[in-house]
Amino acid sequence: MMNYRADTARSALMAKNVYDKAPISRIELLDAWKGLAIIGVVVFHFAWDLEAFGLAPAGMTLRSEWIYFARSLAGSFMLIVGINLYLAHGRVIRWLAFVRRLLLILIAAFAITAFTYMMTPRSFIYFGILHSIAISSVLALIFLKAPALLTAAFGVFFLVAGRLLSSAFFDTPYLYWTGLSTFVPPSNDFEPIFPWFGLVLIGMAIAKSAAMGGALQTVSELTPRGQPFSFLRWTGRHTLAIYLVHPAGFMSHSSACEQFEGQA
C-alpha cells in the first residue's frame, strides 16, 4: 500500500512538472530560418536596386524565378509569424509584449510607406509585408485557442478564396489591403490579407500540432553549432532592423555606382 501511494505521488509530481514546465518562447532553428529569409530579402532588394539604377537588365526581377523567390521569402515570414504567435501567446496572451511588438511593427510599416512614397510615389508600399504582419497578428488572436485542424482549414480558405470572393466593390484604395480587388494595385511590395493571412494560420496550426505531438519540444532542444548557424541565428533575431536599414544603404551604393559608371 505504501509503495502504491508513493508511486501515485511520484506520478502526480511528474505530471505537475510537465504541466508547469516553462513554455517554449524561442526556437533557435526558427531564428536561423528567419535569418536565411532576411538574407534572401537583402539579395532580392539589391537586385531590384541594380535594375532600378540601370546596372542590371531591365525587367530582371520580373522574371518568374525572381517572382517565385520573392514570394517564397514572404511566405516564410508569414509562416514564422504564425508559429511565433503560438509560441509566445498560445497558453495566455501576454498583452504588454504583444502590444509593444505590434506598435514597433506598425511604426516600421509607416516608415517604409513614407520612405517609398518619397522615392517611388507611383508604386509606393502601402500594404507590404510589415503591414500584413501587423494586421495578421491581430486577426490571428481569434484562432489561438482554436483546434489545429480548424485553424489549418481557415488558413487554406484564405489561401484559395481570394479569387472566388474578388469583387469590384473592393476596387478602391481603402480596401486594396483585403486582396479582394479585381486587379493587383501598383506597389513595390503588396502582401494583402487574402491570401497571405492564410499562411499565418497554417504556421499557427503547425505549431499547435507540433506542440501536441511533442515535436515542438524536440525541435526547441536542437542547437546546431558553427559560425554559419550563429550568423543566421543573429540575423534572425534582428530581422526588423536589417529590413529597415538595408534599402537606404543599397540605394546609396547603387546611386554611387551609377555616377561612377557615368564618369568612366
Q: How confident is the model at residue 25 (pLDDT cuts 50, 70, 90)?
A: low
Taking a C-beta distance cutoff of 8 angstroms, is the pair 137, 88 a contact?
A: no
What pLDDT score does 248 carry? Answer: 56
Whether residue 195 has a cis bond before it, omega within 30° of 0: yes
CA distance 79 to 93: 19
Highest-confidence segment of 21-35, 184-198, 241-255: 184-198
What pLDDT score does 136 carry? Answer: 98
What pLDDT score does 247 carry? Answer: 63
**Residue of 98 and 263 predicted with greater confidence:** 98
Q: How confident is the model at residue 23 (pLDDT cuts 50, 70, 90)?
A: low
Q: In this model, does residue 8 exceed pLDDT 60? A: no
Percentage above 70 pLDDT, the chain: 83
| Secondary structure (3-state) at 190 | strand
Nearest Cα to 199, choosing from 92, 71, 94?
Answer: 71
Q: How confident is the model at residue 259 (pLDDT cuts 50, 70, 90)?
A: very low
Percentage above 90 pLDDT, the chain: 64
56-93 confidence digits (pLDDT tens): 888 898 899 999 999 999 999 999 999 999 999 998 99
113-161 confidence digits (pLDDT tens): 998 899 889 999 999 999 999 999 999 999 999 999 999 999 999 999 9
What pLDDT score does 149 carry? Answer: 97
Q: 134: Cβ–Cβ under 8 A, 6 or more apart, which residues?
A: 102, 105, 106, 109
Q: What are 165's three cell numbers?
A: 470572393
Q: Amino acid letter at 262?
A: G
3-state secondary structure 131-161: HHHHHHHHHHHHHCCCCHHHHHHHHHHHHHC
What DSSP designation does 127 have?
Answer: B
Q: What are 113's three cell numbers?
A: 510607406
**Residue of 15 and 127 predicted with greater confidence:** 127
Backbone dihedral angles phi then psi of residue 170, each to the nearest 5 degrees = -90, 5
Q: How confident is the model at residue 219 (pLDDT cuts 50, 70, 90)?
A: confident
Q: What are 101's three cell numbers?
A: 511588438
CA distance 156 to 201: 8
Mean pLDDT, the chain, whole residue set: 85
Nearest Cα to 23, choosing from 183, 225, 217, 178?
Answer: 217
Q: In this model, does residue 220 exceed pLDDT 80? A: no
- In the chain, where the domains are located: 29-34+58-248
Q: In this model, does residue 103 exceed pLDDT 80? A: yes
